[in-house]
């Protein structure tokens, strides 16, 4: 009995060694994928939604200090299921990027709209309506500074603190009075940033003026000035009044009801079967999105993205602070949220700003070139202030860009430059494509 047991033991030992040897030849054991989060042990989708309600498409921005980067942004990206993962700037986790890699080559009509894989074609660029030329803007600014206001009316220029001014020569201007000086500061700085980027054709010429009841400019509207309750000595902005502006609805690629943004790029199908007019519009929209990203202006498309939480049709309504001039050019009105106020709250809105920017992978070549220049020079704020100072005599009457904001402008330009280079690396034309 003992002998039989010993023999059986020897057999078992031999069998165990064989199994161990075989196991050693196998690749290391791979873990089965699991959807549990390490912290809570719940499946990720349930953990996110609290187990009952589906997660909101655009969660409310969490408090400022915590949300500048990191966790909440990642959660937002996941919720947005934005293919921006594919189009994000370098440095994103490769896994995120791989998940959304688009396939397929641009169709011929898409290729014709785009050159070099990422730039709008020259033919399309040439069809973008001219808007305000540099010379027209300069002439208007000079005239507005000397002009005497003969009427100051309520209505036609937005909120009740603004006025529509008529000058002695019959031309008109919207006068914007800031409840807070940073509104006028943001408006003026944004105007000069648009000029620095070559986008001035879309932003109405803007001059600063000082409210002085006894000054020559306001002498004929004393009564109206009193009724406006503007503080004596405050700086207001005058923008050229534009007749016959019409509303604008965001074009199809961003007209989402479910919060999903699809990357706009050649070969992504978004440009296929678009009319020439639609493509010319898209050229302008891509500039607008870049501009609003740089200035952190949340008061246009980004506020729409935010409102999608409770208003799924918001993208089908007129976009605030955006109009079309009679010549067809998009007019970026009301940039007061840009650069100053926008920068103060950028941490809160960047979870919308960044995916929106990353949804653009086709650029106006000239805009991209300017951005890359400002990235290389690392001197964007200095150049902006030089331009502002050179063209606006009242420059010293408003605060310039504070140091942290100057640095943020440069960081945003750097982020944008990286995004452009990323798109170029990914979609730029390579031999044989």
Ligand X SMILES: Nc1ncnc2c1ncn2[C@@H]1O[C@H](COP(=O)(O)OP(=O)(O)OP(=O)(O)O)[C@@H](O)[C@H]1O
Q: Interface residues with ligand X (CB under 6 A)?
A: 157-159, 162, 174, 204, 239-242, 245, 320-321, 333-334
Q: Which is nearer to Mg ion, 260 or 344 (CB)?
A: 344
Q: Rounded to the nearest whole angstrom, what is the least distance from the CB of residue 158 to Mg ion in the complex?
A: 5
Binds 162: which of ligand X, Mg ion, none (CB < 5-8 Å by kind): ligand X
Binds 405: which of ligand X, Mg ion, none (CB < 5-8 Å by kind): none
Using the structure block, give the residue that is written with the tokens 């509207």. 221
Q: Which is nearer to ligand X, 46 or 245 (CB)?
A: 245
Q: Rounded to the nearest whole angstrom, what is the least distance from the CB of residue 363 to ligand X in the complex?
A: 27
Strands 149-153 and 206-210: unpaired
For the four alpha carbons of 372, 378, 380 and 386, in that order, the dihedral sign comes to: negative
Binds 200: which of Mg ion, ligand X, none (CB < 5-8 Å by kind): none
CA dist., res. 55 & res. 76, Å (int): 10
Binds 245: which of Mg ion, ligand X, none (CB < 5-8 Å by kind): ligand X
Q: Which is nearer to ligand X, 92 or 320 (CB)?
A: 320
Tokens representing 241? 């009044």
Q: Which is nearer to ligand X, 114 or 207 (CB)?
A: 207
68: left (phi over 0), alpha (psi -120 to 50) or beta: alpha
Q: Rounded to the nearest whole angstrom, what is the least distance from the CB of residue 159 to ligand X in the complex?
A: 3
Q: Rounded to the nearest whole angstrom, what is the least distance from the CB of residue 239 to ligand X in the complex?
A: 4
Burial label, 143 (beta-carbon count in 10 A; 0-12, 13-18, 19+): middle
Using the structure block, give the residue that is written with the tokens 């993208």. 315
Q: Which is nearer to ligand X, 195 or 262 (CB)?
A: 195
Binds 239: which of Mg ion, ligand X, none (CB < 5-8 Å by kind): ligand X
Q: Rounded to the nearest whole angstrom, what is the least distance from the CB of residue 41 to ligand X in the complex?
A: 48
Q: Rounded to the nearest whole angstrom, what is the least distance from the CB of residue 162 to ligand X in the complex?
A: 5
Burial label, 397 (beta-carbon count in 10 A; 0-12, 13-18, 19+): middle
In this chain, which residue has its C-beta nearest to ligand X? 158
Binds 357: which of ligand X, Mg ion, none (CB < 5-8 Å by kind): none
Q: Which is nearer to ligand X, 239 or 410 (CB)?
A: 239
DSSP string covering 283-308, please?
A: HHHHHHHHHHHHHT--TTHHHHHHHT
94 Cβ neighbours under 8 A, 6+ residues apart? none
Q: Which is nearer to ligand X, 62 or 129 (CB)?
A: 129
Q: Rounded to the nearest whole angstrom, what is the least distance from the CB of residue 259 to Mg ion in the complex?
A: 24
Q: Rounded to the nearest whole angstrom, what is the least distance from the CB of residue 385 to ligand X in the complex?
A: 24
39 Cβ neighbours under 8 A, 6+ residues apart? none
CA dist., res. 404 & res. 406, Å (int): 5
Q: Which is nearer to ligand X, 140 or 427 (CB)?
A: 140
Binds 229: which of ligand X, Mg ion, none (CB < 5-8 Å by kind): none
In this chain, which residue has its C-beta nearest to Mg ion? 334
Binds 62: which of ligand X, Mg ion, none (CB < 5-8 Å by kind): none
Q: Are 266 and 113 in contact (CB under 8 A)?
A: yes
Q: Are 320 and 292 in contact (CB under 8 A)?
A: no
Binds 187: which of ligand X, Mg ion, none (CB < 5-8 Å by kind): none
Q: Which is nearer to Mg ion, 52 or 159 (CB)?
A: 159
**Residues in contact with Mg ion by the rule CB under 5 A:** 321, 334
Q: Rounded to the nearest whole angstrom, what is the least distance from the CB of residue 292 to Mg ion in the complex?
A: 13
Binds 241: which of Mg ion, ligand X, none (CB < 5-8 Å by kind): ligand X
Q: Rounded to the nearest whole angstrom, what is the least distance from the CB of residue 338 to Mg ion in the complex?
A: 12
CA dist., res. 271 & res. 282, Å (int): 9
- 8-state DSSP, 62: P
C-alpha separations of 16 from 3, 7, 8, 10, 333 in Å: 20, 14, 12, 10, 79
Q: Which is nearer to Mg ion, 188 or 282 (CB)?
A: 188
Q: Are 141 and 205 in contact (CB under 8 A)?
A: yes
C-alpha separations of 72 from 50, 270, 349 in Å: 16, 29, 12
């Amino acid at each position: 009995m003992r002998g039989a047991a010993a023999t059986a033991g020897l057999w078992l030992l031999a069998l165990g060694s064989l199994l161990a040897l075989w196991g050693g030849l196998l690749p290391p054991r791979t873990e089965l994928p699991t959807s549990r989060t390490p912290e809570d042990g719940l499946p990720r989708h349930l953990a996110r939604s609290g187990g009952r309600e589906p997660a909101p498409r655009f969660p409310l921005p969490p408090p400022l200090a915590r949300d500048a980067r990191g966790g909440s942004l990642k959660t937002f990206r996941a919720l947005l299921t934005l293919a921006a993962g594919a189009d994000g700037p370098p440095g994103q986790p490769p896994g995120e990027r791989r998940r959304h890699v688009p396939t397929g080559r641009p169709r011929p009509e898409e290729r014709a709209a785009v050159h070099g894989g990422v730039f709008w074609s020259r033919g399309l660029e040439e069809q973008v309506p001219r808007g305000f030329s540099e010379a027209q803007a300069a002439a208007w600014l000079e005239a507005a500074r000397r002009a005497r206001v003969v009427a100051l009316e309520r209505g036609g220029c937005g909120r009740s603190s603004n006025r529509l001014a008529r000058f002695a020569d019959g031309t008109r201007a919207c006068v914007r009075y800031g409840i807070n000086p940073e509104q006028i500061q943001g408006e003026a700085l944004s105007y000069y940033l648009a000029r620095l980027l070559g986008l001035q054709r879309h932003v109405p010429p803007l001059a600063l003026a000082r409210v002085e009841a006894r000054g020559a400019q306001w002498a004929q509207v004393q009564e109206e000035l009193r009724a406006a309750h503007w503080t004596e000595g405050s700086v207001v902005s005058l923008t050229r009044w534009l007749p016959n502006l019409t509303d604008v609805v965001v074009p199809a690629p961003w007209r989402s009801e479910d919060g999903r943004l699809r990357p706009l790029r050649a070969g992504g199908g978004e440009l296929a079967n678009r009319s020439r007019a639609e493509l010319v519009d898209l050229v302008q929209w891509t500039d607008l999105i870049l501009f609003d990203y740089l200035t952190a202006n949340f008061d246009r498309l980004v506020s729409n993205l935010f409102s999608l939480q409770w208003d799924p049709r918001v993208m089908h309504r007129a976009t605030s602070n955006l109009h079309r001039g009679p010549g067809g050019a998009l007019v970026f009105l009301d940039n007061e949220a840009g650069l100053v106020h926008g920068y103060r709250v950028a941490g809160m809105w960047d979870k919308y700003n960044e995916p929106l920017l990353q949804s653009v992978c086709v650029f106006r070549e000239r805009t991209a070139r300017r951005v890359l220049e400002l990235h290389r020079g690392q001197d964007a704020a200095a150049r902006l202030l030089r331009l502002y100072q050179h063209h606006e005599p009242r420059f010293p009457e408003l605060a310039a860009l504070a140091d942290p904001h100057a640095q943020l402008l440069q960081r945003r330009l750097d982020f944008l430059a990286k995004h452009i280079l990323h798109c170029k690396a990914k979609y730029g034309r390579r031999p044989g494509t």
